Amino acid sequence: MTLFDLKFDYYLDPLCGWCYASAPALAGLAEKYPDQLAMRPSGLFFDPRPVASIADHAERNDRHIQKITGQRFTEAYHQGVMRSKGGVFGSNFLTRAMVALGQYEAALEPNFLHDAQIARYVQGKDTSRAREVALVACRTAAKAAIELNVAEFEDKLTNCAELERETQARISDTQARQASLPRGVPLLVVTLDGRPTPLSGEKLYRGAAALFEALDDLLKTIAGRELN
């Protein structure tokens, strides 16, 4: 891989169950190529809606994801979050938190996404709420020796106009890029020597080893073209 100019763009929404399905692949990618990975939040679920409007669909989807990938979705999540009376479903605070943490270190963005997915789908924390998001974000930052105050970070998520502008700019940039790409998230665009190749579906849901195998095949294909 080192012989090529290599970068990765990962298109996502923090509340997308299929993005959680691709979490092991993303974790491996973030560990191996931290400086070449850019997170592209799409805003798919940014605007909050009543959680009841999506609960049944989400549960069917989640159980299918668990069956084919092994990713855990607990009853604490299904009952305590998705069946919460008066609950909302929206990735606005999660997306803002990702952008805010990225202002410290870009590597915090994929780490935070993973921590937020575990908090929601396994621990049953309602990560559509600013307080829960702030708690996760501060834990993610602490693992990188960055100390943040939970109350101050929660206030930033809910009241900082500058963070909101930066978040909307990130989403707008992502959506502009998506116009020329296959629809939906998750999507990984691998760019080797200026040649972008989208990867999705099974290549992302089978874990890091399968993703690296796909990347090796892609590299061989490009190398073969250059030899011809």
Beta-bridged to residue 38, according to DSSP, are 9
Kind of pairing between the strands at 6-12 and 187-192: antiparallel
Place of tokens 């908090």: 119
Two tokens, residue 93: 């605070």
Main-chain phi, psi angles of 112, to 5 degrees: -65, -45
Query: Which CATH fold topology does 6-227 show?
Result: Glutaredoxin (3.40.30)
- The size of the chain, in residues, is 228
* Nearest-angstrom CA–CA distance, 20 and 127: 14
Who contacts 203 (Cβ-Cβ below 8 Å, separation ≥6)? 25, 188, 210, 211, 214
Distances 45 to 26, 50, 77, 211, 222 between C-alpha atoms, Å = 20, 12, 18, 26, 36
What's the whole-model pTM score?
0.94
Q: Exposed, middle or buried, 20 (CB in 10 Å: 0-12/13-18/19+)? A: buried
The per-residue pLDDT string of the chain (228 residues; one tens digit each, 9 = 90 and over) reads 445 689 999 999 999 999 999 999 999 999 999 999 999 999 999 999 999 999 999 999 999 999 999 999 999 999 999 999 999 999 999 999 999 999 999 999 999 999 999 999 999 999 999 999 999 999 999 999 999 999 999 999 999 999 999 999 999 999 999 999 999 999 999 998 888 999 988 899 999 999 999 999 888 877 666 544
Q: Other CB atoms closer than 10 Å to residue 77's CB: what's the count?
A: 23
**Residue ranges of domains in the chain:** 6-227
DSSP state, 181?
S
Residues 147 and 108: beta-carbon distance below 8 Å: no
